[in-house]
């Protein structure tokens, strides 16, 4: 594995208003139609003086700032941009699971219609299954009581159960793992599992559910299909469930975002260069926690999820409340490049079975402010971050 050429990948967050399941859920809740998140990004307002919002992301040199990922032409542009700048694969967020015994699959159009309806050449993809549905309440309200009610709505969550693990395996095996462009490591299909976005019930019960889910996912894949997927556990900021991931003997652990600190004692406005240094220091600590399981350090260009919140809001009204804070300020290409260089040092350090993957978080989380996508700055196509990725990758050859 160590002798394979490194691969550069980025999480891909599907942006679409065309999902019938998601739209139906909004209608059932008597909510407005789910907005395209491009609109949220373009209409964002600053929380405080100097807060750089809105940010105008684009997908081509024509400065297209609004798109739908269920459109094959849109996905063609994503793939073309990625390939031009050294990105080898997308790791798709996917939303599939059981709710009260019924199977739901939301935003599947983005990968099934957008991604897989075109000629991909040598470009690869893999999937990350997320155990909660994408929100239908956007933008999220600043009123705390209403925000909490909306944020933790029960209908968002899929079951964390052995039956749900089997549903995901069956679907991914039949639809994705055998695809000619699916990403494999050591001949095994890469399968990311997002660990952390679960119900807030009895902690011990939740931990048991997570462990049972992971164990069944692995055993069922092999028992039914003879396939041992390369399971990557994707942690969120709290790093919960590391012990369960270790007990299930996942193949690797990484993070999603893993830049800003969400603890209450941390500032609501955090400095990107400082965060980069702190997270680089965190990586070996995480590796020491998980023992023989390799850690893949996520490379993160920034974080600011305030576009998902109600507009014309003041910082003092929403401090300590997702999606408004924390806001990461002063993101810059030099610190981003430092993070890439540190990832290289970490990845190339002696460690058994560490996959040669550089994983960027993310390609297009434009409403959480951590996208590699170019920006339309003053009428120009600003692909500074992607150009840095491309040049950095060239140094590895």
pLDDT at 201: 66
Identify any residues that bridge with 360 across adjacent strands, giving them in sequence order: 10, 299
Exposed/middle/buried for 238, CB within 10 Å: 0-12, 13-18, 19+? exposed
Asked if pLDDT for residue 142 goes beyond 60, the answer is yes
Averaged pLDDT for residues 163-175: 98
pLDDT in tens, 178-207: 999 999 999 999 999 999 755 556 788 889
pLDDT at 203: 81
Asked if pLDDT for residue 148 goes beyond 60, the answer is no
**Nearby residues of 384 by Cβ (< 8 Å), 6 or more positions away:** 333
Helices (H) and strands (E) in the chain, counts: 12, 15
Q: Is the Cβ–Cβ distance between 129 and 96 less than 8 Å?
A: yes
pLDDT at 151: 53
Q: Is the Cβ–Cβ distance between 372 and 358 less than 8 Å?
A: no
| Nearest-5° Cα angle at 88, 396 to 197 | 110
Torsion of CA 230, 134, 75, 124, to 10 degrees: 0
Query: What mean pLDDT is reported for the chain?
Result: 93
Asked if pLDDT for residue 24 goes beyond 70, the answer is yes
| pLDDT band for position 397 (cuts 50, 70, 90) | confident
Exposed/middle/buried for 78, CB within 10 Å: 0-12, 13-18, 19+? buried
DSSP 271: E
> How are beta strands 252-255 and 184-185 bridged, if at all?
unpaired
Q: Is the Cβ–Cβ distance between 120 and 83 less than 8 Å?
A: no
Tokens of 382: 């600003």
| pLDDT band for position 153 (cuts 50, 70, 90) | low
pLDDT at 109: 96
pLDDT at 48: 97
What is the residue extent of each domain of the chain?
7-394
Give the residue among 184, 71, 82, 68 at the shortest CA–CA distance from 118.
Answer: 71
pLDDT in tens, 328-363: 999 999 999 999 999 999 999 989 889 999 999 999
Protein fold of 7-394? TIM Barrel (3.20.20)
Asked if pLDDT for residue 113 goes beyond 70, the answer is yes
- Cβ neighbours, 10 Å, residue 109: 21
Question: If you count them, how many residues does the chain have?
Answer: 397
> How are beta strands 298-299 and 357-360 bridged, if at all?
parallel
Exposed/middle/buried for 69, CB within 10 Å: 0-12, 13-18, 19+? buried
Please give the Cα distance from 329 to 269 (Å, whole number): 7
Tokens of 186: 């050591």
Q: Give, rounded to a whole angstrom, the gap between the first and last alpha carbons of the chain.
A: 16
| pLDDT band for position 156 (cuts 50, 70, 90) | confident
Averaged pLDDT for residues 386-396: 97
| pLDDT band for position 118 (cuts 50, 70, 90) | confident
Please give the Cα distance from 141 to 151 (Å, whole number): 10
Asked if pLDDT for residue 137 goes beyond 80, the answer is yes
pLDDT in tens, 198-247: 555 678 888 999 999 999 999 999 999 999 999 999 998 778 899 999 99
Asked if pLDDT for residue 2 goes beyond 50, the answer is no
Please give the Cα distance from 147 to 212 (Å, whole number): 31
Asked if pLDDT for residue 376 goes beyond 70, the answer is yes
Q: Is the Cβ–Cβ distance between 315 and 297 less than 8 Å?
A: no
Give the residue among 106, 103, 87 at the shortest CA–CA distance from 95.
Answer: 106
Averaged pLDDT for residues 278-288: 97
pLDDT at 82: 98
Tokens of 188: 């095994």
pLDDT in tens, 245-264: 999 999 999 999 999 999 98
pLDDT at 61: 96
């Amino acid at each position: 594995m160590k002798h394979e050429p490194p691969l550069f990948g980025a999480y891909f967050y599907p942006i679409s208003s065309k999902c019938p399941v998601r739209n139906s859920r909004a209608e059932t809740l008597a909510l407005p139609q789910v907005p395209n998140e491009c609109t949220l990004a373009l209409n964002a307002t600053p929380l405080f003086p100097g807060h750089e919002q809105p940010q105008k992301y684009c997908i081509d040199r024509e400065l297209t700032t609004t798109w739908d990922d269920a459109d094959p032409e849109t996905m063609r542009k994503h793939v073309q941009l990625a390939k031009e700048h050294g990105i080898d694969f997308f790791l798709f967020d996917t939303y599939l699971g059981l709710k009260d015994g019924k199977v739901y699959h939301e935003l599947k159009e983005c990968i099934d219609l957008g991604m897989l309806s075109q000629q991909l050449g040598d470009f690869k993809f893999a999937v990350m299954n997320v155990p909660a549905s994408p929100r239908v309440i956007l933008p999220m309200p600043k009123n705390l009581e209403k925000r909490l009610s909306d944020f933790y709505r029960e209908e968002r969550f899929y079951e964390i159960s052995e039956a749900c693990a089997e549903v995901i395996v069956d679907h991914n095996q039949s639809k994705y793992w055998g695809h000619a462009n699916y990403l494999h490591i050591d001949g095994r299909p890469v399968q990311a599992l997002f660990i952390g976005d679960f119900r807030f019930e009895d902690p011990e019960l939740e931990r048991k559910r997570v462990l049972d889910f992971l164990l069944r996912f692995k055993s069922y894949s092999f028992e039914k299909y003879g396939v041992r997927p390369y399971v990557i556990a994707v942690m969120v900021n709290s790093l919960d469930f590391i012990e369960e991931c270790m007990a299930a003997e996942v193949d690797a652990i990484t993070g999603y975002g893993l830049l800003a600190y969400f603890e209450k004692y941390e500032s609501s406005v955090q400095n990107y260069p400082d965060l980069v240094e702190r997270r680089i220091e965190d990586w070996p600590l995480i590796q020491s926690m998980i023992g023989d399981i390799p850690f893949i350090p996520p490379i993160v260009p920034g974080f600011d999820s305030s576009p998902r919140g109600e507009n014309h809001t003041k910082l003092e009204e929403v401090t300590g409340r997702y999606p408004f804070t924390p806001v990461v300020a002063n993101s810059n290409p030099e610190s981003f490049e430092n993070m890439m260089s540190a990832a290289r040092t970490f990845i190339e350090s002696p460690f058994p079975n560490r996959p040669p993957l550089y994983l960027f978080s993310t390609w297009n989380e434009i409403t959480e402010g951590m996208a590699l996508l170019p920006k339309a700055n003053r009428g120009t196509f600003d692909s500074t971050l992607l150009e840095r990725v491309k040049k950095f990758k060239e140094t590895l050859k």
